[in-house]
Amino acid sequence: MRLSKRPSSGLQMNMTPMIDVTFLLLIFFMTVSQVSAVNKEKLPLPQQQGSQDQSEAPITININEQGDIIVSGNRLTLPQLLAEVASELGKVNDDASRLTIALRAHREGNSRTVNQVVSALEKLEIHRVRIAVENSAP
Amino acid sequence: MKLTSRSGRHSSRIELQMTSMIDVVFLLLIFFMVTASFAKTERELDPAIRVEKAAATKSRTQLEPAIVEIVGGPGRFAYKLGGREFNSPAELTAVLRQFENKSDGAFVRVPDDAPFDMAAAALQACMDAKFLAVSYVPLSEEN
């Protein structure tokens, strides 16, 4: 028994702009997640509220639990790090107040390497450093 | 010049099946959005750096600025402020809040073997207590 006739012409949505936007968002998220991970090692940071939001820094110094200094994925010795910092200082006409340095250190590690780095930076007239912390609160 | 007749054209268009592609794209999109929101946000502590000789910092205690030192040995470290020792950053913050000379700043002295987690907690306690300037003072053995 034939009850009804199906409509032959259905309403069709134009999917092209939606797919364009979706791909754009997808590529944006993929790119952003990769770029932000270049300078940052996977380290458990001290869990604190912090005093300010994180901003971009030309040099991000990572210190792992063993006390290794890692900058942009490369393990550096303290003199190598200082050479790197001096090179960045040169880019800002040796004005240390214009150079931002972020320090990311493993929360389980001791402070030996951090102290060495901080003391060395102070000798380069850098009197401020940004210590990264992990904010688990929403 | 008429090359083809109207009747020769295909009347039926080729249509792509978009449903499966949209399924996959949305799945990827949702995955990235969810993982991005679960990632822990990083913030910063912004202390000044002060490198002082150990003997020199001791003489400064006569002026009684807020000097927090991490003391103890492996497995048992504490925060020392004046003659008192505190085990939790909350206790330290509560005492630091009672200081009146907030404009003089606070100093956090960190020996080499102190856990970095505690150093960060001490800096945070000083900042929570509204000190105008907080300084990280490394107490390296070579200083």
The answer to whether position A10 is within a domain reads: no
Residue B32 burial (10 A CB sphere; 0-12, 13-18, 19+):
middle
Query: With contact defined as beta carbons under 8 Å apart, do B93 and A48 qualify?
Result: no
The answer to whether position A11 is within a domain reads: no
User: In this predicted model, which residue has the larger pLDDT, A137 or B68?
Assistant: B68
Please give the residue range of the domain that contains residue A73. 16-138
The answer to whether position A50 is within a domain reads: yes
Tell me the pLDDT tens digit for each residue of B107-137: 999 999 999 999 999 999 999 998 988 999 9
Name beta bridge partners: A103: A61, A131
The answer to whether position A2 is within a domain reads: no
The angle, 0 to 180 degrees and rounded to 10, between the axes of the packed helices B116-128 and B89-97 is 30
User: In this predicted model, which residue has the larger pLDDT, A34 or A19?
Assistant: A19
Number of domains chain A contains: 1
pTM > 0.80: yes or no: no
Q: Is the pLDDT of residue B1 over 50?
A: yes
Give me the pLDDT at residue B35, please: 74
Tell me the pLDDT tens digit for each residue of A15-26: 778 888 888 888
The answer to whether position A23 is within a domain reads: yes
Give the DSSP H or E segment for A123.
Answer: helix A112-123
Alpha carbon of A81: minimum distance to chain B alpha carbons (Å): 17
Residues with Cβ within 8 Å of residue A127, at least 6 apart in sequence: A96, B48, B49
Average pLDDT over residues B15-23: 79
Question: B8 — phi, psi (to 5°)?
Answer: -80, -20
The answer to whether position A35 is within a domain reads: yes
The answer to whether position A100 is within a domain reads: yes
The answer to whether position A125 is within a domain reads: yes
Say if strands A101-105 and B48-49 run parallel, antiparallel, or are unpaired: unpaired
What confidence tier does B34 reach under pLDDT thresholds 50, 70, 90?
Answer: confident
Residue A127 burial (10 A CB sphere; 0-12, 13-18, 19+):
middle
Complex ipTM over 0.85? no
Q: What is the domain partition of chain B in residue ranges?
A: 48-139
List the single residue in A29, A111, A118 with the smallest CB-CB distance to B114: A111
User: What are the chain A neighbours of B53 within 8 Å (beta carbons)?
Assistant: none
- Cβ distance of A131 and B46 shorter than 8 Å: yes
Query: CA geometry: angle at B91 spanning B89 and B97, to 5°?
Result: 100
Q: How does DSSP assign B26-84, residue by residue?
A: HHHHHHHHHHHHHSPEEEEE--EE----HHHHHHGGGG--EEEEEEEETTEEEEEETTE
Average pLDDT over residues A103-110: 92
Q: Is the pLDDT of residue B31 over 90?
A: no
Q: Could you identify the residue written with the tokens 């639990």?
A: A65
Give the DSSP H or E segment for A37.
Answer: none
What confidence tier does B104 reach under pLDDT thresholds 50, 70, 90?
Answer: confident
Average pLDDT over residues A110-128: 90
User: What are the chain B neighbours of A116 within 8 Å (beta carbons)?
Assistant: 138, 140
List the single residue in A26, A30, A49 with the smallest CB-CB distance to B25: A26
User: What are the chain A neighbours of B11 within 8 Å (beta carbons)?
Assistant: none
CATH label of the domain that carries residue A38 = 3.30.420.270
